Each structure stands twice: as C-alpha cells, then as structure tokens.
C-alpha cells in the first residue's frame, strides 16, 4: 500500500479483527516478545520500563515520548555479538556485527554500540557526524549508500572509516580521486545485487534487478567493479563484497542464496586477480515481533544457521579454509526496534458507524504519522496497551490514530483496548525503536518527541523534545 491522500482509507473493512489477532483473555497482558526486557506493571497497573513507571515519565517529559530501555538495547547488541561469535569461530574466525545506524542513531546509542564491541554502519554524512561526535572508532565504521556525495566521501576518508561500500562505477572513480587528494588508501567493499529479494516469510530470486542499489551479478557488473577498484591500487584497497536483501525477514532461505552468490563471486574475483579479500557482508534485515503474528529467531539461533549455511557454501567451492573470508552482518531493527516504546496520551475517542450493525472505535492520540510513519507507509502492524492504570473493562477492538490531517494517519490498525479507555489515559506502543524517530517528520509543524533512556530506575533525555521555537528558527521570513 502506498501513502494516500485523504479519503475513506479502510472503509471497505467491516471493523472486524484481523485473523491473527485473538480476543484477549486479559486485555492488560503483556506479550514478552513484543516489549523491552525490563517491562512490567506496578501494583496500580502502571507500565514500568527500566524500573521507571510511565506515568512519572509522562509527567516529567510529556507525551508523546520514545522511551528507550538501555539495558534491553545493550542486551540485544551483546546477543548478536556473542550469538554470532561462537558459531562463526570455526568458519571464519570471527563475525563482525555492524549496527545499522539508520534504524536509530544518537551519540549515546553510538557509544553503547562501541562499548558493547559492535561496529557501526552509517549511510550519510549526518549519521557519520553523529558517530564522529560520539568518538566512535573510525576503523569500526562502514559507510554505504547509492549516491554518496564527494563531501561525504571526503568526510569518511579523512575520518579514516574502516570500509566504504561502493555502489557505482562513477563512485569508484570519485572515491579514488578523494583518496588520492587525502594521500590515503581507502578500504572498499563492493555492493553486490545478489538477485534475492526477501519479504518476511518468503524470498524471491530475481534474474535481473530493477532497483537502485549495487552492482548486478547477472551481467558481470560486480566482477567488472572489482576490476575497476583494483585498477586504482594506489588509492583503493579491495576488502570484500557486500549484500543486503531486504527487511523484516524471518527465515534464512534468502540469506542462503545470497551467501551462495557472494561466495562464488568471492572465489572468482580472488582467482582472477590472485588476491585475497578478507570479508563478505550479508547485510541486515532480521525481523522482530511487532505483534503476536511475528516469530523472530533469537540471535544465537540466527548466528548458528547463518554460520552453517556459509560453511556449506565455502565447502562447496572447495577453497582452502584458511582463505575463507570473515563474515559480517548489519542488524538495525533487531537491536533497537524492541528496545523502545512510544508513550501517547489518549484524546478523542469516537465510535464510527460502518453500517450493517458494524462500528469501529477510533482512539486518537497526541502524536501519529509524524513520530511513526510506518503504519501509513507500509500498512505495518503494531500493538499497544493501556499504560497508566489497571482496567477490568471488557476488551474493545480499537484503531489508534494520530492527530494529523490525513485519514491514513494511523498508529495501530487493530488492537483490543479496555472499553473504559478515556481521555487522559496513557497508551504505550512497543517495537518503535527502529525507523520511527529515524523517519519522523514535523508534519503539521508538530515538534518531534524526545528520546528518553531508562535504566535501573532512572531516566535521562538522550534527544530532547523539539519545540515550536526550534521549527520557527528555520523560518527566515
């Protein structure tokens, strides 16, 4: 579904629940797989995260607010680090985990990533600037993107980032020029379009690729890109091959095909030029649970399956195991997504008659598509719960909508909330750590919410709330 103009978007529905959404036995229940690991309720039914109750958070910091559970984020970062290290040790010596900063990045999060021993993937000069401000070690940063500017390449080369993923023939020439000007040899990986497109449970193997990223395998472009990089041996060093097949993926079939194609290309390029390339990158895209319909793999299970399938591909090629490159992956959503909940205050509640005796309850909150555009953009499913008190009222199927001037401004398409929900209640939406603040806007001149980190019973602001003055400061009259 695409973003749409104002109109009767879901008017075709009769207001019934989707088949994956069961009528809840307890409307206050919290499914552990949806929430940060420190989630709970206190004696009055108030949600607590990181040892802080959300009523206190709302009073102190206002709503809407993104509440980020620091311990949960760190725990997921470590789960990837350790869950990949052990199974990959016998295959490729080690596995590097690049946190994909585009999912959400601020200086504190960059520091946590560094402290937990992960690397960092950025895809713009702005994201790189955050990493620089945080003092993130340059050699553990990768830069990718299909249209990096010369200024961005210069920023990366002068900071000394550990790898630049080149995406076009033009960029190879541009980067070689930049590196020469800086008297540097830039470490390069080649973004390969592996002909695999993965969406959640199924993947599609495509013969040719109609998309903007990378060098195609099909017509020999990727091998040609390797030749182009190697021609600039005074300015570029070819370190490996890179792929990324999609997002919110729940099984490893697509990665298996991608790994096969990368391993074959790796062997072909090394043989053609008599070189070694130390790394292949399988990208990110590991799925998380937004609702009860999603069943993600634990990082350790994912690491074991990927190590197993990569080993099979290396073995099939028949190369000496000592020449096998190390493997890296780039999880974004799977680390930061479940760490964060968005707190909203309930405003208007409306019962809308859908005809034929059907009705839909619209619960309006004080944010919306400006702080979470994923529902409007992708028809993404979310869940939510009453967060500020206990209720014994019957569950009522509800649609949570924002305050913006667009009928597609929906936060949670379908969820059971207590029938006694009223203005002033707080609701919490889990799984909003990835691609919510990162994709936020100031639509309707709405200042963007703060990001509040909670841990061990205390809260601190990582990114402050925007103000109308911030917005007006850009307006020069």
Ligand X SMILES: *Cc1c(COP(=O)(O)O)cnc(C)c1O
Instruction: Return the number of other C-beta atoms located less than 10 Å from residue 22's C-beta.
Output: 9
Position 418 contacts ligand X (CB under 6 A): no
Please name the residues in contact with 469: beta carbons below 8 A apart, sequence gap of 6 or more: none
Secondary-structure breakdown of the chain: helix, strand, coil percentages, each rounded to the nearest 5: 30, 25, 40
Name the minimum Å distance from CB 272 to ligand X.
25
405: annotated active-site residue? yes
296 is in an annotated binding site: no
Residue of the chain from 35, 66, 215, 286 that contacts ligand X (CB under 6 A): 286
CB of 254 to ligand X, least distance (A): 13
Q: How far, in Å, are 65, 442, 449 from residue 367 at the CA level?
A: 9, 11, 9
The partner residues of 398 in beta bridges, in order of sequence, read 361, 415
332 among annotated binding-site residues: yes
8 A C-beta contact, residue 310 and residue 327: yes
Q: Does residue number 142 form part of the binding site for ligand X (CB under 6 A)?
A: no
Decide if residue 100 touches ligand X (CB under 6 A).
yes
103: contact with ligand X by CB under 6 A: yes
Residue of the chain from 148, 266, 294, 333 that contacts ligand X (CB under 6 A): 333
Query: What part of residues 303-322 is at the interface with ligand X (CB under 6 A)?
Result: none
Among 284, 408, 418, 450, binds ligand X (CB under 6 A): 284
Given the complex with ligand X, which of 97 and 346 has the nearer CB atom? 97
Q: Is 144 in the site for ligand X (CB under 6 A)?
A: yes
Q: Which is nearer to ligand X, 100 or 277 (CB)?
A: 100
Confirm whether residue 435 is marked as ligand binding.
yes
The token duo for 395 is: 């569950």
Choice from 369, 434, 436, 453 touching ligand X (CB under 6 A):
434
> Residue 331, annotated ligand binder?
yes
CB 285 within 8 A of CB 245: yes
Which CB, 332 or 367, lies closer to ligand X? 332
Comparing CB distances to ligand X, the nearer of 50 and 285 is: 285
H-helix or E-strand spanning residue 413 = strand 410-418
The residues that bridge with 344 in the sheet, in sequence order, are: 427
Site for ligand X in 66-85 (CB under 6 A): none
Question: Which of 332, 338, 418, 450 is close enough to bind ligand X by CB under 6 A?
Answer: 332
Q: Would the annotation count 437 as a binding residue?
A: no
Q: Does 244 bind ligand X (CB under 6 A)?
A: yes
Is 278 annotated to bind ligand?
no
- The CA distance from 144 to 331, in Å, is 14
For position 330 contacting ligand X by CB under 6 A, the verdict is yes
Which residue lies nearer to ligand X by CB, 200 or 407? 200
Mapped onto helix, strand or coil, the DSSP state of residue 144 is coil
Phi, psi values for residue 71, rounded to 5°: -65, -35
- 287 vs 418, beta carbon nearer ligand X: 287
Q: Is the peptide bond before 41 cis (omega within 30 degrees of 0)?
A: no
Half-sphere exposure (CA, 13 Å, Cβ side) for 1?
15
Q: Which is nearer to ligand X, 249 or 421 (CB)?
A: 249
CB 123, min distance to ligand X, A: 6
Shortest approach of ligand X to residue 165 CB, angstroms?
A: 7
- Name the packing angle between helices 70-92 and 107-115 (round to 10°): 40
Instruction: Using CB under 6 A, count the residues that bind ligand X.
Output: 17
List, in order, residues 6 or more apart from 39 with CB less than 8 Å away.
Answer: 30, 32, 47, 48, 49, 69, 341, 430
Beta strands at 410-418 and 426-430: parallel, antiparallel or unpaired: unpaired
Interaction of residue 396 with ligand X, rule CB under 6 A: no
Nearer to ligand X, 125 or 331 (CB): 331
| Binding-site member from 41, 102, 389, 404 for ligand X (CB under 6 A) | 102
Is 189 a binding residue for ligand X by CB under 6 A? The answer is: no
Encode 400-418: b = buried (16+ Cβ within 10 Å), e = exposed: bbbbbebbbbbbbbbbbbb
- What DSSP assignment string belongs to 294-362? --PPPHHHHHHHHHHHHHHHHHHHT--GGGPPEEEE--SHHHHGGGEEEEEEEEEEEEEEEETTEEEEE
41 is in an annotated binding site: no
The DSSP letter of residue 250 is -
The catalytically annotated residue of 123, 384, 405, 436 is 405
189, 143, 142, 150: which is closest to 171 by C-alpha? 150
Which listed residue (239, 331, 368, 450) binds ligand X by CB under 6 A?
A: 331
User: What residue number has its CB nearest to ligand X?
Assistant: 332
Query: Annotated binding site for substrate, which residues?
Result: 333, 374, 378, 406, 435
The residues carrying an active-site annotation are: 405
Query: Annotated binding site, which residues?
Result: 285, 330-333, 374, 378, 406, 435
Q: Which residues bind ligand X (CB under 6 A)?
A: 100, 102-103, 121, 144, 244, 247, 283-286, 330-334, 434
Query: Annotated binding site for pyridoxal 5'-phosphate, which residues?
Result: 285, 330-333, 435
């Amino acid at each position: 579904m695409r973003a749409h103009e104002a109109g009767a978007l879901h008017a075709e529905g009769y207001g019934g629940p989707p088949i994956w959404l069961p009528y809840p036995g307890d409307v206050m229940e919290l499914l552990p797989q949806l929430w940060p690991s420190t989630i709970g309720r206190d004696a009055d039914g108030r949600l607590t995260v990181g040892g802080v109750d959300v009523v206190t958070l709302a009073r102190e910091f206002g709503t809407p607010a993104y509440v980020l559970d620091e311990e949960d984020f760190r725990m997921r970062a470590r789960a990837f680090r350790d869950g990949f290290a052990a199974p990959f040790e016998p295959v490729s010596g080690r596995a590097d985990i690049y946190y994909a900063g585009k999912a959400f990045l601020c200086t504190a999060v960059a520091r946590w990533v560094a402290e937990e021993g992960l690397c960092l993937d950025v895809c713009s000069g702005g994201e790189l600037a955050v990493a620089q401000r945080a003092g993130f070690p340059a050699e553990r940063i990768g830069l990718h993107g299909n249209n990096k500017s010369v200024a961005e390449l210069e920023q990366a080369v002068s900071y000394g980032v550990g790898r630049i993923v080149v995406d076009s023939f033009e960029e190879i020439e541009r980067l070689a020029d930049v590196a020469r000007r800086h008297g540097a040899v830039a470490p390069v990986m080649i973004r390969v379009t592996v002909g695999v497109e993965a969406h959640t449970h199924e993947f599609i193997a495509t013969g040719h690729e109609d998309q903007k990223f990378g060098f195609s395998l099909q017509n020999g472009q990727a091998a040609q890109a390797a030749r182009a990089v190697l021609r600039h041996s005074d300015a570029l060093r070819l370190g490996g091959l890179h792929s990324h097949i999609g997002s919110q993926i729940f099984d490893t079939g697509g990665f298996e095909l991608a790994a096969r194609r990368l391993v074959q290309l790796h062997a072909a390029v090394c043989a053609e030029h008599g070189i070694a390339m130390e790394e292949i990158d399988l990208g990110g895209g590991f799925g998380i649970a937004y609702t009860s319909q999603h069943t993600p793999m634990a990082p350790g299970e994912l690491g074991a399956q990927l190590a197993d399938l990569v080993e099979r591909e290396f073995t099939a090629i028949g190369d000496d195991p000592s020449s096998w490159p190390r493997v890296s992956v780039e999880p974004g959503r799977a680390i930061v997504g479940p760490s964060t909940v968005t707190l909203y205050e309930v405003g208007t509640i409306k019962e809308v008659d859908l005809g034929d005796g059907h009705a839909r309850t619209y619960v309006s909150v004080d944010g919306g598509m400006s702080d979470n555009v994923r529902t409007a953009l992708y028809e993404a499913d979310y869940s939510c719960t009453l967060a500020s008190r206990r209720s014994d009222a019957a569950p009522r199927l509800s649609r949570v909508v924002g305050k913006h001037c667009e009928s597609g401004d929906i936060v949670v398409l379908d969820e059971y909330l207590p029938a006694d929900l009223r203005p002033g209640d707080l609701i919490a939406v889990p799984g909003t750590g990835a691609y919510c603040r990162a994709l936020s806007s100031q639509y309707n001149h709405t200042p963007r919410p703060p990001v509040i980190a909670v841990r061990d019973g205390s809260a601190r602001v990582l990114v402050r709330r925007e103000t109308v003055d911030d917005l007006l400061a850009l307006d020069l009259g």
